[in-house]
Amino acid sequence: MAEQFFGITDTGKLRDNNEDAFIAQSSDGLIIACVIDGVGGYEGGEVAAAIAKESVLSTFKQKPVDINGAMRNAFAEANEKIYTGKLEGGKNNSMACVLTLAVTDVRNNKFYYAHVGDTRLYLFRDQSLIKITKDQSFVGFLEDSGRLSEAEAMSHPKRNEINKALGFDPTANLAADYMETGESPFLPGDAILLCSDGLTDMITASQITSILLKKTTLDQKCRELIAAANNAGGKDNITAVLVLNNKKPAKPELKKPVLVKKQQAQVKEPIKPAPKQQPLPPPVSKKKGNNGGVIILLGILCLVFLGGFIWQWWKHNKTSPSITPAERKERNAEEIRLQTFINTAASDTIRLDATSLGTNITLTDTLWIRRDTLYLTGSRSTVIRKDENFGDGPAIVITPQCRYVEIDSISLQGFQVGILASNHTVLQLKNVQFKNCSTAVAYKVQPDSLFITNLFKRSNTGSDNSIEKTANSNQ
């Protein structure tokens, strides 16, 4: 288990104290990874970070039934304790902290996360670094929306001004959108990186990627990240935590059917030459020639008759009005408009609401997502349901060319498969419900011949949001 995670923190070159804290440990089958950045004075930041760390550790002493709910409770408890500490006055009257928490279930290839502030969570998959969390600051918003480049954001004078933190507001835990939460598949070979802004303010995403690509241990990678940030100036405390899914994909299984086929072919090959060595008398060959002519003639007549029959059948059905409506799927205006928005919208964000695309959409055919990045956001009342003529296909198909898809606050109802995605895609689901769906999410791990799918099915004992995972293999 120790080979799967590592964390480290460093004071940096300009600070005298370290207001960062981190968690990197296993607990009851889960890996708890957290990076906390204290705010509010020389000692206040350290106290706030320590309070948040203790709240997370006490919450995850045992594996909770509802991981998302447990993360929210840990954040709410820390927020209340920090705010109460501020009211006591003294030198800690402005303390607060920002943090990112990831709870990884490697056994079931999945991780959950919660986030407040400008610490970050990255997913490293297929040699690509993908930023999962969004910085809750004005500069972070400008960067995430594309209005500022990474270099411009790193040097912005208001880079460290945050608008959300634990300890700011005693009722923050009551607001559903105060903290960012989500969950994602964590496939064999994937890694996640949690870090403070002391790292990301000093080195770029490409520099981080180059370090993670190296064939070194998690310990060495983390230490090299810290060293790179210090070499770039080390203006703040620096913290990094890495978690690895070190399970190996079951690729060798693909060779088994090939080997069997080759062995069967080698057994049959010596039998084939036997008929060639048997002598064939001239009388026999003549009889075959005579019978062959008759057979050819009969075959030609049969083909002519069959061709005429097919022509008449095609001509009849072409003009028959009764078959055409049954074969065509007439798509309704709402789904046509939604598919058009997905294909052509200039922005990566598409919102489903009553003023644009509507909150109640019925599908007669599958929605296809072929763009690089998409944020599909609804409201609590947004429902996508299956038409009676839909069939057994998935409601949404995400093609391999998609790198990141986030679906938020949407309910999928009545489909055989809710979402079918490629293993190349990072899929984030937030407040998504699957009602009367046999399979919620299916993943294609091998897109060519052998498919190993990770299926997430609704639990029969849980709530509408509860999801359990099974694994199947189809060829």
E strand or H helix at 145: none
C-alpha to C-alpha distances, 368 to 72, 396, 405, nearest whole angstrom: 33, 6, 12
**Distance between CA atoms of residues 44 and 46, nearest Å:** 5
pTM score above 0.85: no
Mean pLDDT of 369-383: 84
Mean pLDDT of 144-170: 88
Residue 380: band (very low, low, confident or very high) from pLDDT cuts 50, 70, 90: confident
- pLDDT for position 469: 33
**Distance between CA atoms of residues 377 and 286, nearest Å:** 78
CB 180 within 8 A of CB 163: no
DSSP state of 191: E
CB 166 within 8 A of CB 96: yes
Task: Give bridge partners of residue 244 from the DSSP assignment.
Answer: 191
**Distance between CA atoms of residues 71 and 343, nearest Å:** 36
Tokens of 291: 């019978």
Residues 205-259 have pLDDT tens digits of: 999 999 999 999 999 999 999 999 999 999 999 999 999 999 886 654 544 444 4
- pLDDT for position 85: 87
Task: Give bridge partners of residue 122 from the DSSP assignment.
Answer: 131, 193
pLDDT of 355 over the 70 cut: no
pLDDT of 272 over the 70 cut: no
Average pLDDT, the chain: 79
Pick from 16, 91, 85, 93: which is nearest to 52 by CA?
A: 85
Residue 346: band (very low, low, confident or very high) from pLDDT cuts 50, 70, 90: low
Residue 293: band (very low, low, confident or very high) from pLDDT cuts 50, 70, 90: low
- For the chain, what is the total number of helices (H) and then of strands (E)? 12, 24
Amino acid at position 30, single letter: L
- pLDDT for position 460: 35
Amino acid at position 205, single letter: A
**Distance between CA atoms of residues 404 and 453, nearest Å:** 19
Lowest mean pLDDT among 337-341, 427-431, 459-463: 459-463
CB 166 within 8 A of CB 48: yes
- pLDDT for position 123: 96
- pLDDT for position 101: 98
Residue 348: band (very low, low, confident or very high) from pLDDT cuts 50, 70, 90: confident
